[in-house]
Structure 1
Amino acid sequence: MEQYNNKTIILNINKWKISLFVFFALSGMAFSSWTSRTPEVRDILHASTSIMGWIIFGIAAGAIVGLVSASSVIRHIGARKAIALSVIILSLGLLIAGFSILLAIKLLVFSGLVVFGLGYGIIDVAQNVEGAALERSTNKTLLPALHASFSGGTLLGVGLGSLAISVKIPVFIHFIIIAFVIILFGVICIKYLPTATGKVDLITNHHSVSSPQTKVSIFKELRLVYIGIIVMGMALAEGTANDWLPILFVDAYQVTHVTGTIVYGVFLLAMLIGRMSGGFLLDRFGRVPILVSAAIIAVSGLAVVILDINFYFAAAGVFLWGIGASLGFPVGLSAAGDNPNGATERVAFVSTLGYLAFLVGPPFIGLLGESVGLLYALLVVIIAVLIAGLFSPAAKKIETKSS
């Protein structure tokens, strides 16, 4: 009987793991589906760089609400229900944005992106809380691989976006298809997630998939604040690429919309490679050396892009940019979840800071880019990554005993 129970536990954890990989991929695909069409959306709306910055800020505005409320939502209903809710909101926002682009009404596009951002903010925190709980349950480094799934999803979204552009599928139809896929796979996978991950009053036993949660004083833990700074710097590097790379290359390097989207795909491929190899590298070398190396690589790539030598050097710089930015976010979340007691609060806090930088920072890069150009606006990203590298020692693994 005990052997049977152990097999059942392993099977349930495997289903949990696979389903969580799917949700990370779906959220990535949703985001990059929007990004892959931004040059075309800009032309349809006749929007300047600053206006596009404000439109993109719609995602950030909705995400702020989602991110700030996510921790409370998870503590009350659990991460599974929070993910289910966010999938519905995310898909609805994508449909509203697509329909608004069809009508070419900027304010409605902004409104649709606010709804999209709301769902995106909630799911990002909830799935990272699930990921941290999965790491503790399996005693394995899994968050880099889960974020690799996100990158894989973004790469798939870009591929589908490039195909849609090539065969002239309207943005609205494209977004309907993506929303349908998200809902379909969400319905299939949601039942395999644990019912109560992240709930404060959860009582667990030896085989439980979650840990007891206690209230923590977030801002009194300097280590946690420093980890947040690391994640914010690296998340800004990732988010800036997600929002601006296609447009940046179309404008600065005079390439076609399809080529701009392909360059964005190069960045996502680099992110995927970095995150897929992250678990092995982290287990062998440790968090701090990897984070310092990642910061150096990201800064090098960004510098090559800014130098504006030629398209091919810039594309190589984008690849380095993606490799360097790939591990900061997941490593920071793993570090925040080292202590199982209060892990939900800590992971949610760091995740919120990261996604704020990921979503709110890029629109301001766009506003700055209107004055100095998008290439020179990337200097802000370089500074942020350098600061993240300086704070890397805070992510050193701590050994704790769960109570």
Structure 2
Amino acid sequence: MTEELREHVAEELLRSRARSTALTDAVDEHDLVRQHSKLMSPLVWDLAHIGNQEELWLVRDVGGREPVRSDIDEYYDAFKYGRSVRPELPLLNPKEARQYVGDVRGKVFDVLEKVPLQGRRLVENGFAFGMIVQHEQQHDETMLATHQLRTGEPVLHAPAPPRGKLVPATEAFIPGGPFEMGTSDEPWALDNERPAHTVHVDAFFIDTTPVTNAEFAEFVLAGGYDDRRLWTEAGWEHRTTAKLVAPRFWQREGNSFTRTAFGVTEPIVPDEPVVHVCFHEAQAYATWVGKRLPTEPEWEKAARFDPETGRTRRYPWGDGEPTELHANLGQRHLRPAPVGAYPAGVSASGVHQLIGDVWEWTSSDFHGYPGFEAFPYREYSEVFFGPDYKVLRGGSFGTDKSAIRATFRNWDYPIRRQIFAGFRCARDA
């Protein structure tokens, strides 16, 4: 089993690095060192940061080896310098960054070959390696968002997602009662997903699909952005200050809309989930249709609970790992798939596309579960707990399968729109 685990870890490390390489090789050196938005780091910072985290945890901590480049630690500490000032730091240039991450990876494979994967919580079941795989894939999704913000000719290409299929019902009923939320036994689950605990959720209805472009366009055309009654006080203040009139990257031409994605401008696809909306926009739309956003426990119960058996699943479709038949993940496509495109991924309650396509805003603030324990460091989750951040669930088309589970929790400021976020609505039963 240990050798199988080592092989699995090695495959995941190689797979994540191939994606990082593709995202950084797609542009020239000018684009790598340039800041495409104050919200994002230069791509070359993300690349070297990936290597630095790998060095800190796998080379120095797990492996007990000498540092590769301790002189650069402070420049790649995400908490020491915010994104807006990172271009001013003495960063590694593209050639140096590539050399650095390659040197670190060579030592990591040596550590992986020799270190016991047991006897210490950090290495049990390969956790530290899994944490670093997920970290790299999370930054790959961040780099993909940076690509979306860059201007110029398209440099990323992918086939179109599968076509949508008719979804027979617009809502699914989720019965009231307890279910097991979170996990205590998923080997690579991160600290904020733990521990498993019982949560009671009242009966509710949830949309069987995410809100689509066509549905959201109706909200825009009906004057939803100008109707103060639909917005909370904080939402209206942000909508006014930021001058929001439509989802980010949309352009209006009369009563029709186009969207620019990765350098390509085209009419919005009506049955694709809307993407690049902030929490406040999602909340205003939900109010407009007489519904609300689901709470985080409601979202997870809709995704994992099987009403027939009372069992909580790993994924909406069961316990098996995601495949290309289940969900739109891993940057296979550069856009959300039309609703109904993944019937094999439907939940036991008949809810579609809960994994992949778009991160889904919930109404819940980001907090630790009862019995939460920070591991292996407070800065992964605990320092973000509180009312400033809203929880998003389910992953997007840019999320890798190694970095998403039905228990996985993402969080961001409610004003963020550069992330690949959409939503679905719910209502009381």
Instruction: Answer yes or no: same fold by TM over 0.5.
Output: no
Which protein is bigger by CA-based radius of gyration?
2
**Hey, which of these two has a bigger chunk of strand by percent?**
2
Q: TM-score, normalised by structure 2?
A: 0.26
Q: TM-score, normalised by structure 1?
A: 0.27
